[in-house]
A and B are shown apart, each in its own frame.
Chain A
Amino acid sequence: MKKLSARRRHPLAALVVLIFALALTGGLWAALAPTSSASADASQSLQVEEGKRLFQVGCASCHGLNGEGTNLGPSLVGVGSAAVDFQVGTGRMPAQQPGAQVPSKKVIYNQAQIDQMAAFVATLGAGPVIPTQDQYSGGNVAAGGELFRTNCAQCHNFAGAGGALSEGKYAPSLAGVSAKHIYEAMLTGPQNMPSFPNSTMPEQQKKDIIAYVQHATNSDTNPSYGGMTLGAIGPVSEGLFGWIFALGALIGTAIWIAARTPKAKKS
């Protein structure tokens, strides 16, 4: 696998692999597990029961015993299973500490548990549902790029590197985020991100955007032709690099040219 071998050399390989593996497990589970199919009502209600139990242990202290919300956390009525899958699946929930924004961190539940909680929250009120794989794969990169620049680049940067928002909030980097989670984020609008519902951004366009993001954030599909990307954050890092390395090397050269040649020692 060429893709994997290229990744292995990357300094952040371990992290990326970890996130990817987690996302993949999640994706596989979502695809294979019979959660969304209404094949067996019994297993469904069992799952909701399990989810409720997990919810009351892990989430209720902020969101209330029945997800009605407290002054520590918002109501979860109507947020849908997709929101749970995104928030818990990227490690944002359960939140660790109050702050401008809840960051993504290590995921502490397995996908089965996440699905159970998602199933429980879904019973609180109708909302966006966890997508299936055919909902977020097979987009067109060029069309996605155009849509990305209209809808996403203003916060997430042209290369998906992320950017600042007001008062310490930020749009996170999109590198290594799974297709499912990107889809869920667009659908549910987590935290301060606005949502892009299917009514104004049809599913095909979400696929295109996901295809573009995955293309742009993967060095195998989007190599940095000209050399080091310098963080892909535009001219600021270029200027810093130019001053420190290019001008630095040239001044070093000038010092060599003007330095006195050592004199012969008188013996």
Chain B
Amino acid sequence: MTSQDNMSEEHLPEATHGHGGGPVVSKDGYFADPGLPPHEHRRTDIDEKAARRAERQVATWFLLSMLATVGFIASYVIFKPGPTHHVYVWPVGDVSPLNFALGVTLGISLFAIGAGAVHWARTLMSDEEHIAERHPIESTPEVREQVFADFRQGTKESGFGRRKLIRNTMIGAMAMVPLSAVVLFRDLGPLPEKKLDTTGWKAGMLLKNMNTGEPIKASDVEVGSLTFAMPQDLSEDDEDFQVRIAKDALMLVRLQPGDIKDKSSAAWGYEGVLAFSKICTHVGCPISLYEQQTHHVLCPCHQSTFDLSDGARVIFGPAGHPLPQLQIGVDATGNLEALNGFTVPVGPGFWERSE
């Protein structure tokens, strides 16, 4: 018997009187704590045969784990990696045989160890409940006094309170030294300056079809069609392609001129061909779920909806302002070109953005 098994007096039920056969009542008028019920034996505690059986079961789990580990190594050697290898496994589907075999064998080899250990604990290790006393987390008043006295003594001996000059200069030094760390982070990136206000689009720049890489004839853009474009001077091989396309991507649609409600928007287009930024003004997803009958364009990320027939006005969702429109016309050969850069910043809004 360990010390944990000693039950202190206060947990024992109060002896009460009066309620012949009724529940035992505690001091405060409620029901008394009857104390921990006596331990009951499991089969395995009293029947050696049952215990042996449990032992065999635990060992079987561990053996299964060993087998599965052998299976894991065998699978690693046998099955080939790569996308050309796949096999149908019911009901999972067409899977990589390597991934499936490795996962199942690893799963079994691990699970079996756990199952064996838990079964062992549940059947063969003692399940007798013990009681451990708790002690208050708070320290005793004596300890508290001692600590405070020690602290006061320490403070006194250091002269921290008395020598104000030392104290103040030390606090000042400690407050200033982290500034070095702050300064060090300055070179993480450039200052914003006007970088977010401009794009690569400039007056006279041809629109290049994202699919073909060729200039786009205005006559090639049909009513109801959707085309994506980038500036003529941008190529997928450029080093800064990702950064530039994140702002320059363009969405080209053609509406029946009569369907365009916003006249200034129509004026910025060419015979109903309108060019809008493909970058959502909410958080910058490439918005392009264009519904050609309603002229609505929807963002797949947060469902901001813009009406392209009405100057890309926001009609639903969290975006705060319309998609910027690029003023376009045609050059001598009938190819679409920008007549101007974007006049407002494209993409998500930011504090310095003025409009």
Contacts and interface: CB of A to CB of B under 8 A. Distances in A.
Q: Do A and B have CB atoms closer than 8 angstroms in the complex?
A: yes
A228 B300 CA distance: 25
B289 interface: yes
Nearest to B43: A264
A35 interface: no
B209 A223 contact: no
Interface in A155-209: 155, 163, 165-166, 169, 171, 189, 191-197, 199-202, 205
A226 B316 CA distance: 38
A196 B225 contact: yes
Contacts of B296: 166
A193 B298 CA distance: 12
Contacts of B93: 219, 223-224, 227-229
Contact of B220 (A163, A193, A200): A200
B292 A263 contact: no
A227 B86 CA distance: 11
Contact of B289 (A165, A199, A219): A165
Interface stretch (A36-44, A130-138, A146-154): A146-154
Contact of A197 (B44, B220, B303): B220
B90 A9 contact: yes
A262 interface: yes
Contact of B118 (A205, A219, A256): A256
B212 interface: yes
B305 interface: yes
Interface residues of B, number: 55
Interface string B274-308: 00000000000011111111101010100101000
A6 interface: yes
A195 B292 contact: yes
A224 B94 contact: yes
B225 A189 contact: yes
B120 to A, nearest CB: 11
A257 interface: yes
Contacts of B165: none
Given A166-B316, A205-B212, A191 B293 contact: yes
Interface residues of A, number: 41
Nearest to B42: A261
A215 B343 CA distance: 43
Nearest to A6: B88
A247 to B, nearest CB: 16
Contacts of B290: 194
Contacts of A193: 292
B42 A264 contact: yes
Contact of B228 (A151, A202, A228): A151
A99 B52 CA distance: 70
B135 to A, nearest CB: 26
Contact of B46 (A220, A227, A257, A264): A264
A232 B94 CA distance: 14
B95 A199 contact: no
Given A166-B296, A261-B44, A264-B43, 17 more contacts: A154-B288, A155-B300, A163-B289, A165-B291, A165-B298, A166-B291, A166-B303, A194-B226, A194-B253, A194-B292, A195-B222, A195-B225, A196-B227, A199-B219, A223-B93, A223-B94, A225-B99
21 contacts: A151-B226, A154-B287, A154-B288, A154-B300, A166-B305, A197-B225, A199-B220, A199-B222, A202-B212, A205-B211, A220-B94, A223-B83, A225-B86, A226-B95, A226-B99, A228-B92, A228-B93, A263-B42, A264-B41, A264-B42, A264-B46
Interface of B: 40-47, 83, 86, 88, 90, 92-96, 99-100, 103, 118, 122-123, 127, 209-212, 216-217, 219-222, 224-228, 253, 286-294, 296, 298, 300, 303, 305, 316
Interface of A: 6, 9, 147, 150-151, 154-155, 163, 165-166, 169, 171, 189, 191-197, 199-202, 205, 219-220, 223-229, 256-257, 260-264
